[in-house]
Amino acid sequence: WIPFGGVLGFHHFYLNRKKIGIIYMFTLGLFGIGWFVDLFRINKLVDKTREYINSNPNSSKPLIILSDLYIFWLPPFGLFGFHQLIIEKYFFTFAYIISFGHLFMGWFCDLFRMKSHLE
């Protein structure tokens, strides 16, 4: 999580969360917001990743937890569908980009539907 590596998402690459790491790299840790939040949740990320790997040893799919979706939902990223991107809903990501979060309504509704996105 060290400042330089954390802003560039190195801790996400280490935890095999490549997509989130790439987004962090290009946005400098979500303009510092995600990097700061990760300061408080890094231990939980490591524990959840260890637990996930131990219970799914052959899975190549990275772990996405609910707090990831909420961080990527925050403006301005959520208005462009970043929270849809990390759960691989590419059509909705594109729709958010061209409609600015479906003119805020889709973005606002996603606040209450976040848990269902992971199921």
pLDDT tens over the chain, length 119 residues: 567 888 999 999 999 999 999 999 999 999 999 999 999 999 999 999 999 989 988 887 888 999 999 999 999 999 999 999 999 999 999 999 999 998 999 999 999 999 998 87
Residues 6+ apart with CB under 8 A from 91: none
Q: pLDDT at position 2, please? A: 67
Helix axis angle, 18-31 to 33-55, nearest 10°: 160
Residues 61 and 39: their CA atoms lie apart, in Å, by: 24
Identity of the amino acid at 31: F
Residues 8 and 20: their CA atoms lie apart, in Å, by: 10
